[in-house]
Amino acid sequence: MLLSGAAFKADPHPTYARLRAEAPAYCRVSRDGAARMWFLTRYDDVAAALRDDRRFVKDADATLTPAQLLARPPAPPLYRLLTYHMLNTDGEAHARLRALVNKAFSARQVEQMEPRLRTIAHDLLDRLVPRGAMDYVDDFALPFSIAVIAELLGIPSRDRHRFRAWSHILVAPSVDAVRNERKTARLAQVMQDFVDYLQGIFAARRRAPQPDLITSLLEAEEAGDRLSTEELFSMILLLTVVGHETSVFLLANQALTLLTHPAVLAAVRSDRSMIAPIIEEVIRYEGPVERATMRFAAEEIALHGATIQRGDAVSLVLASAHRDDRAFPQPAVFDPARRGARHLGFGLGAHYCLGAPLARLEARVALDTLLDRLPAVQLATPSSDLRWQTNPIVRGPKRLPLRWEVS
């Protein structure tokens, strides 16, 4: 069954509906037969796996025997630098890394950023409004989201374009990409630039600490613990990439969904209290994360008559779970007043998204500002003509052309 490509990404929902009905635990085997990946597509199965961090683990090494670990060649230094962060750890290791950054992402800390986020959004629109048109992804969502995470980390505004370029290249590199000679050379150069830049920032923060997250990470003390060098670089890479890539597509999908549901758009224009439930329903209806980051079976697991073997990769398909009519009546309908099951867009359990309060704040500020500044905004192209991101993890349009009358 085809689970990639432009046609699939334009509308994956019929394919996922078929999987939910016919093969809720669907296995795809690599061409050489050496690797198996399972796709779980029903809401209950996805929710259970998200909660079960004992059997569905993030660290693939945890599924290997001691003999297999000894026989396996060591990971390249570049790959280690890219992956030593809390998204790829379990249990105590994950709890330790999470504790070192948790305070910076508390709801109370995030809410204190709201005035600054509103200033950033209005500054962007000050330049865009007179034009009468924009690509919402490239002209607003991307610069807004990178400015927010750069502000949190303490990256100077003059360098934010560099972080945007690095993030675009470094987002979700696969093991194959890291081991491909040509791609490795490019990735290595980008990573070296990234490391060199951060080392300069670290030196500056050690000389003169600032009220930002990089200073906090350098000074982190939690039960006498600190981040190692690899953990420090990986953590900032994770926050840079995950901290804004998913937000970009939350903002884009939110704008697109409202512009294709004019009755809801008209209602929220007159009643801003609808913004919070609209954000939650957007995450369910067309969330920015199509599939959760990869899990691996830590033991043999029987599910729907199939057997997931120890070490098999497991993909939890959030976009499918969110359209499961067992959990959501009329799931293809966008309904901000919806009650019942909660969406899984920020995960569940130990790996619940640390950045959920910040993502919600960004979505709220972006929508509020758009409603204030562009009351007559509309799509500049039919929604059926949009092209979608091909990355299997994220869901969002590559471009979102908007237009409005300039007075």
pLDDT tens digits, one per residue of 314-358: 999 999 999 999 999 999 999 999 998 999 999 999 889 888 999
Band of pLDDT at residue 82, cut at 50, 70 and 90 = low
Instruction: In whole angstroms, give the CA distance from residue 250 to residue 353.
Output: 14
- Mean of the pLDDT values across residues 202-216? 89
What is the crossing angle of helices 356-373 and 229-259, to 10°? 40
Residue 96 has pLDDT above 90, yes or no: no
pLDDT at 228: 76
pLDDT at 181: 59
Q: Which two tokens stand for residue 11?
A: 């509308």
Tell which wins on pLDDT, 98 or 251: 251
Tokens, residue 197: 């830049």
Based on C-alpha coordinates, what's the Rg of the chain?
A: 21
Could you list the beta-strand ranges (E) of 244-384.
295-297, 301-303, 306-308, 313-316, 378-379
160 contacts 150 by C-beta, under 8 angstroms? yes
Q: What pLDDT band is residue 78 in, cutting at 50, 70 and 90? A: low
Q: Report pLDDT digits (tens) over 224-271.
A: 677 777 778 878 877 777 667 889 999 999 999 999 999 999 999 999
The residue length of the chain stands at: 407
Q: Using 50, 70 and 90 to split pLDDT, how confident is the model at 211?
A: confident
Superfamily of domain 6-403: Cytochrome P450 (1.10.630.10)
Q: What angle do CA 98, 100, 104 make, to 5 degrees?
A: 90
